């Protein structure tokens, strides 16, 4: 992923999904000999947005952030094989944060190494400019943990919605999307999609129940 051309501007949701799928395919090749590859695909779908978003907010470029996503998942997979994660020593959420922050630091070190010999790494009087890694270190741990916490909570909903899409019919999800996620009134959904008011309430109930179940499933992994 590191060699991919960096995109200009903020990618759209559709572009992000395409990049995520590309990273997923690359990652699956590296996990090809793993017994439980399906579980790691599910893990990737659940957490790639979280890892990517935090990496971007830390100051990485897009291709660097995708490398962080891939390397974080690979690290978690390898450590899990060795049973490195010990629930007695902290939550999974904290452990994932530590691994993600390590991989973010790796990217800054790599960037720093690549530019260390160039003139742009020093001011006109020869004093080195602070590296991105050093600037990150200047932030308090609490600051970055608060970013992680915010992104984690947002990711719970986004990941749950993605799981719901695979478990309900496209039509039911579309109705739910307009009515609940976008906040349209039942009568507006009726006019927009040509469905009955009863169908709107039914989709709200059924899809909402599935969504709540998926949210609880993901939150259970925080422990």
Using one digit for the tens of pLDDT, what is the confidence trace for 152-181?
A: 989 999 999 999 999 999 999 999 999 999
Question: Do residues 189 and 195 make contact, with C-beta atoms less than 8 angstroms apart?
Answer: yes
Q: Between 18 and 149, name the one with better pLDDT.
A: 149
Query: Residue 128: what pLDDT?
Result: 40
CB atoms within 10 A of CB 156: 20
CB-neighbour burial class of residue 178 (10 A; exposed 0-12, middle 13-18, buried 19+): buried
Provide Rg for the chain, Cα atoms.
21
| Token pair of 205 as six digits | 């109930």
Q: Where are the chain's structural domains? A: 1-155, 167-223
Asked if residue 5 has pLDDT above 70, the reply is no
| Token pair of 196 as six digits | 């009955």
* Band (114; pLDDT cuts 50, 70, 90): confident
Short-list 80, 69, 58, 73, CA closest to 16: 69
At residue 166, the 3 state secondary structure works out as coil
Kindly report the backbone phi and psi dihedral angles of residue 3, in degrees, each rounded to the nearest multiple of 5, phi listed first.
-85, 0
Q: Taking residues 41-61, report their average pLDDT.
A: 89
Q: Taking residues 128-144, report their average pLDDT.
A: 50
Q: Which CATH architecture has domain 167-223?
A: Orthogonal Bundle (1.10)
């Amino acid at each position: 992923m590191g060699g991919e051309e960096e995109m200009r501007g903020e990618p759209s949701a559709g572009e992000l999904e395409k990049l995520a799928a590309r990273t997923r395919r690359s990652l699956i090749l590296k996990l090809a000999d793993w017994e439980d590859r399906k579980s790691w695909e599910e893990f990737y779908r659940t957490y790639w947005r979280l890892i990517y978003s935090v990496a971007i907010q830390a100051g990485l470029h897009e291709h660097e952030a995708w490398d962080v996503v891939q390397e974080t998942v690979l690290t978690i997979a390898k450590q899990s094989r060795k049973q490195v994660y010990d629930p007695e020593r902290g939550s999974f959420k904290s452990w994932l944060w530590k691994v993600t922050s390590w991989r973010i630091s790796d990217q800054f070190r790599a960037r720093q190494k690549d530019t260390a010999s160039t003139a742009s790494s020093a001011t006109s009087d020869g004093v080195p400019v602070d590296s991105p890694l050093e600037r990150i270190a200047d932030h308090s741990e609490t600051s970055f943990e608060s970013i992680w916490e915010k992104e984690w909570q947002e990711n719970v909903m986004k990941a749950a919605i993605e799981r719901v899409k695979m478990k309900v019919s496209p039509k039911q999800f579309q109705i739910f999307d307009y009515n609940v996620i976008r906040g349209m009134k039942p009568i507006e959904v009726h006019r927009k999609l040509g469905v009955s008011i009863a169908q709107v309430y039914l989709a709200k109930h059924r899809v909402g129940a599935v969504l709540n179940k998926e949210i609880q499933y993901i939150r259970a992994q925080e422990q």
